[in-house]
Amino acid sequence: MKLRLVRRPDSPFDGRFFERDPRLWPIVEAALAFVDHLDWPEPEAYLLAFRGRPAPVRFLRDTPRRRPRGHPIDLDALYDARIVRGIVPTRPRNWHDFLNALVWATFPRAKVALHRRQHELIRAWIPPGATALPNARTPAQDTLALLDEGGILWLRDGNKEALVPFGHGLLEGIVLGVPAMVPRAFVLTTEWLPQERRTLLALADGLLADALEGEVKPVPINPRALFSFLDNNQVLLLEKGGQELCGI
């Protein structure tokens, strides 16, 4: 799997960015909180994306700290550990992290479940007293990272289906007009699919959160032409009911 991450840290802010592409529809309501901003809001202001709803996290300006060479890794200082405690380290003036905040506001239950699961996997992955991270992540960690960055939620009820962009790396590529992330589809089955978009997003949020609380497995479904979402039709399919997270 090849990720083509493109960063443009000097990109100016555009409060109406969501009007550029209809694939950004899931985060429009959260983005409307910033539609009148002429410049980048401060990371702490990203809570406005929740539009008055309770927020499970706060967004704080990221201040990288160097660990003295040879010192053990502080597991509580790692990214997902800080999120579990309710703080999302956020780089200012950065589309990637801004869009992450909008995804948090749109899918709060799923994001909490995803980072809690990733935190548990990381704690089990790093040996006690380790002074360096292991050379390679586990398949389960990779799958969660792919979901977080490039996931498309594929909701199906037997008769109808809906595609819901979720990964903030994927959304970043759409905003910047570059293929920033290879998309991956994650299948979530339901008994019904609502027509109203806000209800659909709430359903997707709950379904994904529930799936991540349990065990999940890939489903061998033909990706079809639907998943030429950017310019690549490689997919990763995920459904509740298996023993581990892994990709195909």
pLDDT digits (tens, 9 = 90+) for 85-130: 999 999 999 999 999 999 999 999 999 999 999 999 998 888 888 8
Range of the domain at 171: 17-240
Higher pLDDT, 241 or 16: 16
Beta carbons within 8 Å of 45's beta carbon, 6+ residues apart: none
Which positions ≥6 away from 64 have C-beta within 8 Å?
Answer: none
What's the pLDDT tens digit per position in 225-234?
Answer: 344 444 443 4
Of 180 and 51, more confident = 51
Residue 124 lies in a domain: yes
Q: Please give the pLDDT value at position 232.
A: 41
Note whether residue 245 is domain-resident. Answer: no
State the pLDDT at residue 151.
87
- Which pLDDT score is estimated for 10? 67
Considering the domain boundaries, does residue 6 fall inside one?
Answer: no
Backbone dihedral region for residue 241 (phi beyond 0: left; psi -120 to 50: alpha; all else: beta):
left
| 91 inside domain | yes
CA pair distance 64, 68, nearest whole angstrom: 13
- Record the pTM: 0.86
Flag whether 246 is in a domain. Answer: no
- Asked whether residue 227 is domain-assigned, the answer is yes
**Is residue 10 situated within a structural domain?**
no
Taking all residues of the chain, what is their mean pLDDT, rounded to a whole number? Answer: 83
Number of domains present in the structure of the chain: 1
Residue 9 lies in a domain: no
Q: Beta-carbon neighbour count of residue 60 at 10 Å? A: 16
